[in-house]
Amino acid sequence: MRHIRIGAGAGYSGDRIEPAIELAEKGEIDYLVFECLAERTIAIAQQTRMKDPALGFDPLLAERMQAVLGICSEKKIKIITNMGAANPLAAAAMVRQIALSMNLKLKVAAVCGDDVLEILKAGAYISDQNIPVNTLGDKLLSANAYIGAAPLVEALAQGADVIITGRVADPALFLAPLIHEFNWAMDDWHRLGQGTLVGHLLECAGQISGGYFADPGYKDVQGLARLGFPIGEVAEDGSLVITKVAGSGGHVTPATCKEQLLYEIHDPANYLTPDVVADFSAVSVTEIGPDRVLVQGASGRARPDTLKVSIGYIDSYIGEGQISYAGPGALARARLAQAIVAERLALSAVAFDEIRYDLLGVDAIHGATLSEQPSEPYEVRARVAARSDNMRDAIRIGNEVETLYTCGPAAGGGVTKTAKEVVAVQSTLLPRQLVKTSVHFE
């Protein structure tokens, strides 16, 4: 039975680049996929594009492409990535220029159509928190539909060597080459369900080969500093073997595969994607050799009539200040520092909608009750953070923490302060016929 090999070159925007190079050099792969686009990322990218129409794509795009284009061209490895973010056309143009500078003849495709901002502005769509989208006004930054594999398959059919997309459902990045290579029908729900499982397992790269898995003494993983990213060996029937480059760090085991299988899955029998409603409820995971795990048993049903749309908007502003105390009485001094800031904010009439007073290492994650300790820590860092509807008051939060240097408890140090705009994300549904995709070649 024929197989193809897909390497997962990245699991998020800032991921390591070396494992992708290793996959291209030693992985004997047919495709290298970079999944780099989180929900909030594209809204931030849209802000960047508003300031400069030539930008709005992943800031590491050039570095990644310079690292792998030569190897992939030599070995006939096709590249698929959503690093186009808010500007796939500009991203594709940059990749072409990099290819030309390296004397490479590559056909670069940009997949567009996920940007549905104007459609949502014109309609009475309601977000998942019951906010009418058209009432967000100037706060609305972006609206991107999760498109499926079809336009990527079209690009591959037209000979694309590199495909740059914006908001595509993560599993579709991996499903598209399977549909293309095996000539699966776009309504073969069983195989599309299997292919979606492939994408779901590979989309987070190092998470399935030991990253975000290690827990010393319970789940030991060696070589995380040079973690090897996964390879999916996919058969024509959709069955999958997860492996990695021999000798690379980390490991692939049934446990790592099961943890990734459960990742971000609400209902395993009804995993909604633009291409299929996948059913993972009967999936089996079997170790067949060192760093080789067979995963099979997924299926699927007809795709939904609507597409999820991720809406990015300016929600508020967060101001934060931190200061450290150490030595005897550190905890008492940190608590006094927080009390002083609380009183100062009241006296100064600083407006905020929400505020947190945390003692990092003491109660910041689980709260005072669950985090209660039998003895006091020798050092503690006090943090004050508040959400406001304006930047001026957000800035004042950190300023009040800073004044603790000379107006607070003894021996405070290491103050940091920040104030930033908060880009929030909500979702809505859009009839799929309203979303028109297209493929552009550089």
How many other β-carbons are positioned within 10 Å of the β-carbon of residue 47? 16
Exposure on the CB side of residue 25, measured as CA atoms within 13 A? 11
- Tell me the pLDDT of the chain (442 aa) as tens digits: 899 999 999 999 999 999 999 999 999 999 999 999 988 889 899 889 989 999 999 999 999 999 999 999 999 999 999 999 999 999 999 999 999 999 999 999 999 999 999 999 888 788 887 878 888 888 999 999 999 999 999 999 999 999 999 999 999 999 999 999 999 999 999 999 999 999 999 999 999 999 999 999 999 999 999 999 999 999 999 999 999 999 999 999 999 999 999 999 999 999 999 999 999 999 999 999 999 999 999 999 999 999 999 999 999 999 999 999 999 999 999 999 999 999 999 999 999 999 999 998 786 556 666 546 667 888 999 999 999 999 999 999 999 999 999 999 999 999 999 999 999 999 999 999 999 999 999 8
pTM (2 decimals)? 0.93
Q: Is the dihedral of CA 248, 249, 254, 258 positive or negative?
A: negative
**pLDDT at position 374, please?**
65
Residue 35 sits at φ, ψ, to 5 deg, of -100, 110
Cβ neighbours for 52, distance < 8 A, ≥ 6 positions apart: none
Q: Is the dihedral of CA 11, 17, 18, 24 positive or negative?
A: positive
Q: What token pair was written down for 314?
A: 């300016």
d(CA 422, CA 21): 34
**DSSP for 91-115?**
HHHHHHHHHHHTT----EEEEE--B
Q: Max CA-CA distance within the chain?
A: 74
Round the CA-based radius of gyration of the chain to a whole number and report it.
Answer: 24
**pLDDT at position 413, please?**
96
The answer to whether the CB of 5 falls within 8 A of the CB of 202 is no
d(CA 158, CA 435): 21
How many other β-carbons are positioned within 10 Å of the β-carbon of residue 7? 28
